[in-house]
Amino acid sequence: MKGNLKVISPLWLFMFFNMLLFSQQLNEDFKIKVSPVFNGEKLQKDDWYVSKKGDSIQFNKVKFYLTDFKFDLAENSQQKIINNTVLVDAFDKKTLLKTLQRPLNKKDSTIQFSLGVSGVLSESGALSGDFDPANGMYWAWQSGYINIKIEGMSPSCPTRKNKFTFHIGGFQKSYPTLRVLSFPIKEYQNEITLVVDLATFLNEIDLKEKHSVMIPGEKASKLADIAVNMFDIK
Amino acid sequence: MKKAVCFIGGILLLSFIGLKVKKNIFTYPEYWPKPVYDIIKNPVTEEGFQLGRALFYDPILSKDNTISCASCHLQASGFTHIDHDLSHGIEGKIGTRNSLAIMNSAWSDSFMWDGGINHLEVQALAPLTSDVEMAETLENVVRKLDTIPFYKKMFYKAFQDSTITGQRVLLGFTQFTLMLNTYNSKYDKYIRKEVGGEFTAQEKNGLKLFRNNCASCHTEPLFATNKFKNNGLAVDTTLNDYGRMKITQNPKDSLRFKVPTLRNIQFTKPYMHDGRFETLQEVITHYTNGIQQSETLSEELKDPILFTHREKVDLLVFLRTLTDKEFLFDKRFSFPKALITQK
């Protein structure tokens, strides 16, 4: 038994270090840079912007979830990215750059991810990190994540303090709000800049009529269709 | 020499594991159904339970530090708000529904009268953030707790890490709630054929009547089902509460509300989602004489329930056997003195 141990121990050590080395080689950094803009202009909290409809607009909260990043490879297989959730706060710099771990295999052609949180996670109780309900992106009275929050003010809104509030979420089959995005990726690319243009969203909304959606349902689902068009890569 | 090193190492490793793995204290009668809640995911430890207990009784959870969970969920009344048809929150604000009793929560797959909450772990968020209840945010609760050494210690004991997060606050709550189980009423002792569980002829008849007329919704042993039913109540036009439909937006769910447990029903008054009935006599009379017909009325209530006066009394006598005084007065669930002596 003693003799066996002498043989096995160096072997195990060798295998262990090989695994460590190999695992490091298997993954590489993949950076997601998020760039919130309004009609191409950098988005700043409480600055004034004007939409195509002529509405003057200020933003004070823009937050959204990007989840489930993966690559669609040319040979019809998928490559999942590790650590693949991003909770973006447009006015919090540290959330605008996220380094994900991507397996070392660059035969991809498309990067795919979801805008929002899956129904499975919305039914999984109290989660941690980006999914911690303390982030303020979880509905208390009807369980589930708020996929997108866009809040601000505009003189066009006939509301108290001219506020508009769009909380887009809900995972019921009839009114889903999770949307999947995909973009082509050049070979050997290891970062993307994701441009989020709030003008695309506000240009489609008549703030005199529509200024607050804060529950799941048909309206939220329609807003999700508009919101997904805000995203493009550079 | 090597043997000795291995032996000591092994002992140290085992001690370390022993320190880390804490005993799960959640138990229930072996003849009960399996809980809906996955206890393996969040095993209840004594430390986690005590953390949840402190949070439950601490008014720091409300925006102005005036009310705690216990304000609307009193132990002696089955962890509900006695004598208030609608619950009230900070600054005397009045809610829109009667607070539900908290007991045997591990067997529920949704919470609140409309089932809007889909998991026990996130249930506490609703009263915590409601404008007419505690009007606070989880983020701010974390911030407040983080300044108190008492809680830093409690979180360390419960999670082996003093970092306070929203998730850990909710898991602490869950551990306390998971322990609020009631299964030692006279009825339970009757079922288990234990001393103190001898039923009178009247109680036996009441049980028989119950099983024939009420048990399809209030099913033993929990005396509840995870269903939503329209039990024939007329709409209170001051509230216009259509229940489950608010969540599903499906007209078929109009006027459907969660079927609550009947355990400790003697002490959980008032009754129904809007607390409209003060007494159990009124409740029984509703089922025999007060059913309002509507499209979504529960199938079980479409045919009238007929009870004689004596049968009503027998049923009432049986319902009182569901009182579990060991639960209602269990000191482990009461206000923790540590909140005063150590905080």
Per-residue pLDDT of B321-342, as tens digits, reads: 999 999 999 999 999 988 878 8
- Does B160 lie in the same domain as B73? yes
Q: Is residue B9 part of a domain?
A: no
According to the model, what pLDDT value does residue B232 have? 96
Has residue B3 got a pLDDT over 60? Answer: no
Task: Looking at the complex, report in whole angstroms how far the Cα of residue B174 sits from the nearest Cα belonging to chain A.
Answer: 10
CA atoms within 13 A on the CB side of B164: 23
Using a CB-CB distance cutoff of 8 angstroms, which residues of chain B are in contact with residue A149? Answer: none
- Does B143 lie in the same domain as B280? no
Q: What is the mean pLDDT of residues B281-295?
A: 95
Q: Which of B181, B206, B238 is the last residue of a domain?
A: B181
* H-helix segments, B102-252: 125-129, 138-145, 149-159, 166-178, 186-191, 201-213, 245-248
CA B309 and chain centroid, separation: 32
pLDDT tens digits, one per residue of B237-258: 999 999 999 999 999 999 999 9
User: Which residues, in sequence order, are CB contacts of B314 under 8 Å at separation 6+?
Assistant: B202, B203, B205, B206, B209
Query: Structural domain boundaries of chain A?
Result: 28-233
According to the model, what pLDDT value does residue B12 have? 53
Q: What is the mean pLDDT of residues B271-286?
A: 95
Q: What percent of chain B has pLDDT over 70?
A: 94
Query: Which of A124, A128, A218 faces B119 most closely, judged by CB atoms?
Result: A124
* H-helix segments, B102-162: 125-129, 138-145, 149-159
Q: Is residue B336 part of a domain?
A: no
According to the model, what pLDDT value does residue A190 have? 85
Q: What is the CATH number of the domain that holds B273?
A: 1.10.760.10
Q: What is the mean pLDDT of residues A203-227?
A: 94
Q: Is residue B7 part of a domain?
A: no
- Does B267 lie in the same domain as B203? yes
According to the model, what pLDDT value does residue A188 have? 77
CB contact under 8 A, A140 and B128: yes
B41 touching A (Cβ < 8 Å):
yes
According to the model, what pLDDT value does residue A74 have? 65
Confidence of residue A75 (pLDDT cuts 50, 70, 90): low
**For B186-206, b where at least 16 C-beta lie within 10 A, e where not — what string?**
bbbbbbeeeeebebeeebebb
Closest Cα in chain B to A128: B167
A138 touching B (Cβ < 8 Å):
yes
* Cα–Cα distance, A41 to B266 (Å, whole number): 65
CB contact under 8 A, A125 and B139: no
Has residue A234 got a pLDDT over 90? Answer: no
Has residue A24 got a pLDDT over 70? Answer: no
Has residue A72 got a pLDDT over 80? Answer: no
According to the model, what pLDDT value does residue A225 have? 97
Confidence of residue A3 (pLDDT cuts 50, 70, 90): very low
- Does B218 lie in the same domain as B171? no
Using a CB-CB distance cutoff of 8 angstroms, which residues of chain A are in contact with residue B248? Answer: 172
Using a CB-CB distance cutoff of 8 angstroms, which residues of chain A are in contact with residue B41? Answer: 125
Interface ipTM: 0.83
- Does B233 lie in the same domain as B302? yes
- Does B279 lie in the same domain as B176? no
CB contact under 8 A, A142 and B120: no
3-state SS assignment for residue B15 = helix
* Cα–Cα distance, B141 to B127 (Å, whole number): 13
- Does B267 lie in the same domain as B147? no
CB contact under 8 A, B165 and A136: no
Confidence of residue A1 (pLDDT cuts 50, 70, 90): very low
Has residue A144 got a pLDDT over 60? Answer: yes
- Does B200 lie in the same domain as B285? yes
According to the model, what pLDDT value does residue B18 have? 46
According to the model, what pLDDT value does residue B244 have? 95
Task: Looking at the complex, report in whole angstroms how far the Cα of residue A144 sits from the nearest Cα belonging to chain B.
Answer: 8
* Cα–Cα distance, A190 to A99 (Å, whole number): 10
- Does B52 lie in the same domain as B118? yes
Q: Is residue B341 part of a domain?
A: no
Q: Which of B139, B155, B181 is the last residue of a domain?
A: B181
Least confident of B3-12, B119-128, B306-315: B3-12
Closest Cα in chain A to B170: A126
How many domains in chain B?
Answer: 2
According to the model, what pLDDT value does residue B80 have? 92
User: Which residues, in sequence order, are CB contacts of A152 under 8 Å at separation 6+?
Assistant: A57, A58, A59, A60, A61, A163, A164
Contact B260, B283 (CB under 8 A): no
Query: Which of B112, B130, B167 faces A128 most closely, judged by CB atoms?
Result: B167
Q: Is residue B79 part of a domain?
A: yes
Please list the residues that pair with A70 across neighbouring strands: A80, A112
B69-73, B80-84, B187-191: range with highest mean pLDDT? B187-191
Confidence of residue A7 (pLDDT cuts 50, 70, 90): very low
Q: B322 — phi, psi (to 5°)?
A: -85, 0
- Does B218 lie in the same domain as B146? no
Q: Which of B129, B150, B181 is the last residue of a domain?
A: B181
Has residue B132 got a pLDDT over 60? Answer: yes
Task: Looking at the complex, report in whole angstroms how far the Cα of residue A211 sits from the nearest Cα belonging to chain B.
Answer: 21
A·B CB contacts under 8 A: 75
Q: Which of B206, B189, B181 is nearest to B328 (CA)?
A: B181
CB contact under 8 A, B121 and A126: yes
According to the model, what pLDDT value does residue A102 have? 78
Structure pTM? 0.86
Q: What is the mean pLDDT of residues B299-318?
A: 95
- Does B224 lie in the same domain as B90? no
Least confident of A70-84, A118-132, B173-187, B288-302: A70-84
Q: What is the mean pLDDT of residues B284-291?
A: 95
Mean pLDDT score across all residues of chain B:
92
* Cα–Cα distance, B41 to A127 (Å, whole number): 11
According to the model, what pLDDT value does residue A79 have? 72
A9 touching B (Cβ < 8 Å):
no
Q: Is residue B282 part of a domain?
A: yes
Confidence of residue A4 (pLDDT cuts 50, 70, 90): very low
Task: Looking at the complex, report in whole angstroms how far the Cα of residue B116 sits from the nearest Cα belonging to chain A.
Answer: 4
- Does B127 lie in the same domain as B195? no
3-state SS assignment for residue A207 = coil
Structural domain containing residue B244: 186-326
